[in-house]
Amino acid sequence: MTTIGPTSLPATGQPVTGAATTAAGDAKTKRAEEKLREAQRAIETLKQTADSARAERKATAKKKVEDLKARLRQLQMFGASPRQIAQLAKELAQAVKAYGAGGGAEAPSPTPASPAATATPAAGAGESPDTAADAPEAGAEDGKAEDASKPADAEEPKTPYETALRAQQEDADRQARRAAASEEDRQFLAEARKLAKELKAAARDAARKAQREDAPDAKDANKAADEAETAVAEAERAVGASDGAAGAMSPGLSLTV
């Protein structure tokens, strides 16, 4: 009679199946994490494209305002007509509207669902032992293909703590950029508002010098100056609403993992 020792296990013992199931779950989780990173990179690319377009519109508007300021100074030196002032005011309104259409500071990147939402630790629990045992090999092959497609210097977070720390740092960077952009918006709108008031005063002065305050040109100049001021106010509301939405979408992060 052969005595079975306490440490002997049947060939089909549960520890073997459990190890294979755990390995299969780890492989699924790894693939889910890589898909998450790919989604985040795609979102960031789209966001950078939108940010570039917005920055270009704003830069064009700023350049236009500086040009209008120089043209107004030149016209004031030689005596501006109501029609010339009206033209400047209309161009200012257009530039400010274009700036406001660009929105406020950059919005935070939407964050896709975490790997925990797309893969659970129990993944593969319902699979047969043979299928579970094959899963790690498939995951390893996928991992090799994914690693080959990554830049050589890419360093992905290795632990949940590192992932949370990187996310917090990225959020802090976005907050800093948003604060700088908000200040830039404030300065631009302050300059535009000041120029609109100067154009309004110039329109009245030009009409008075021409002694034609009731003439169509004078009325048109005053109307254009009023519209420029209105455009500035609307741009301030648009930029402010955009900044408020961006702040609401950027909750604080926790490093608790």
The long-range contacts involving 203-211, CB below 8 angstroms and separated by at least 24 positions, are 203/82, 203/85, 203/86, 203/89, 206/79, 206/80, 206/81, 206/82, 206/84, 206/85, 207/82, 209/79, 210/81, 210/82
Mean pLDDT, residues 183-211 taken together: 88
Is residue 94's pLDDT more than 90? Answer: yes
Mean pLDDT, residues 137-166 taken together: 60
Is residue 241's pLDDT more than 70? Answer: no
Highest mean pLDDT among 39-43, 112-116, 199-203: 199-203
pLDDT tens digit string along 122-151?
444 444 444 444 444 444 444 444 444 444
Q: How confident is the model at residue 152 (pLDDT cuts 50, 70, 90)?
A: very low
Identify the burial level of 174 via C-beta atoms within 10 angstroms of its C-beta, where 0-12 means exposed, 13-18 middle and 19 or more buried.
Answer: middle
| Cα separation, 179 vs 185, whole angstroms | 10
Of the candidate ranges 3-12, 29-38, 123-132, the one whose mean pLDDT is the lowest: 123-132
| Cα separation, 115 vs 28, whole angstroms | 10
Task: Output the pTM of the full model.
Answer: 0.57
Provide the angle, in degrees to the nearest 10, between the axes of the packed helices 14-78 and 129-149: 30
**Is 230 or 242 the better-scoring residue by pLDDT?**
230
For 239, other C-beta atoms within 10 Å of its C-beta total 23
**Listed residue (187, 182, 166, 163) closest to 247, CA to CA:** 182
